[in-house]
């Protein structure tokens, strides 16, 4: 499937299937995870082999905020290097997965709570490609991104996600990409290589988040600002947390939940990730 027409044949007809695709929330962490062989990237590679091969991947990344909701709708999205100060090898990465304009239009049509604009400028930011290139290194599966409307609150994002549920039945892997605990201002760089070390507040709130997720207490997770000072330290700005709410909004009544890459980095970041279904 090396030509655009072949990719279009692959995804033009997204019919419902018996097997419902899982949903992922991935703690993506440093952009360097996109090229490193470490415990996080190895787990992403393993996931790509364990879960059913998707017909397409739809990513909600912490790194695409917009006024209004947008979806990438180009045939081949560019690889965006939306960071600085990293080695040239990271900037050299080109993840040449196709897009799928028809799926973009279909996704926009099923979202009733917002007018979704077709976007031809964004591409795949590092919240998407650093993870997906490990899962699907051959870049032979269409990848799209859905933006996060920064003018809306947590409840809005959670409810919008529910409207995407039918895509799970059509072979689309929906992935939120961010970090549950993400306080760059408090990173202890001198302890960045100590795998078991984290601030007490970061460890405590990460455990709280996992308990709430396991017990389907989504309302408390939506109203995270009411969870105390630990939550406010974990989420000084919400963009890395919002993708989790998209994942939770897609949890069905029979979906089991499991966690992976459950580790603190630098004291104030967690890579804790969630698989639903």
**Tens-place pLDDT, residues 202-226:** 999 999 999 999 999 999 999 999 9
Rg value, the chain, Cα: 18
pTM comes to: 0.92
Percentages helix, strand, coil for the chain (3-state, rounded to 5) are 40, 20, 45
E strand spans, the chain: 23-27, 56-61, 65-66, 69-72, 116-119, 143-145, 148-149, 172-178, 257-260, 264-265, 269-270, 273-276
pLDDT > 70 fraction of the chain, expressed in percent and rounded:
94
65-123 pLDDT per residue, tens: 999 999 999 999 999 999 999 999 999 999 999 999 999 999 999 999 999 999 999 99
How do residues 27-63 score in pLDDT, each as one tens digit? 999 999 999 999 999 999 999 999 999 999 999 999 9
Q: Give the dihedral of Cα atoms 48, 54, 56, 61; nearest 10 deg.
A: -40
pLDDT tens-digit series, residues 230-267: 999 999 999 999 999 999 999 999 999 999 999 999 99
Residue 10 reports pLDDT greater than 80: no
Rounded average pLDDT over 167-181? 98
- Whether pLDDT at 11 is above 50: no
């Amino acid at each position: 499937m090396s030509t655009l027409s072949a990719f279009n044949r692959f995804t033009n007809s997204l019919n419902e299937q018996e097997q419902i695709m899982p949903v992922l929330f991935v703690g993506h962490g440093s952009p360097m995870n996109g090229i490193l062989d470490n415990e996080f990237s190895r787990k992403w590679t393993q996931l790509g082999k364990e879960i059913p091969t998707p017909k397409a991947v739809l990513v909600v990344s912490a790194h695409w905020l917009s006024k209004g909701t947008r979806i990438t709708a180009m045939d081949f999205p560019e690889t965006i290097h939306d960071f600085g100060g990293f080695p040239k090898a990271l900037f050299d990465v080109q993840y040449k997965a196709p897009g799928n304009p028809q799926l973009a239009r279909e996704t926009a049509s099923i979202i009733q709570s917002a007018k979704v604009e077709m976007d031809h400028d964004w591409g795949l930011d590092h919240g998407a490609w650093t993870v997906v290139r490990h899962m699907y290194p051959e870049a032979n599966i269409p990848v799209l991104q859905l933006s996060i409307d920064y003018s809306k609150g947590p409840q809005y994002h959670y409810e919008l996600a529910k409207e995407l549920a039918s895509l799970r039945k059509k072979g689309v892997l929906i992935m939120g990409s961010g970090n549950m605990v993400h306080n760059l201002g408090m990173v202890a760089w001198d302890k960045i290589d100590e795998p078991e070390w984290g601030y007490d507040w970061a460890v405590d709130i990460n455990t709280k988040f996992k308990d709430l997720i396991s017990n389907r207490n989504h309302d408390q997770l939506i109203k995270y600002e009411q969870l105390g000072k630990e939550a406010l330290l974990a989420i000084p700005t919400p963009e890395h947390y919002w993708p989790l709410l998209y994942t939770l909004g897609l949890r069905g009544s029979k979906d089991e939940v499991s966690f992976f890459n459950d580790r603190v980095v630098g004291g104030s970041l967690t890579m804790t990730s969630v698989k639903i279904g």
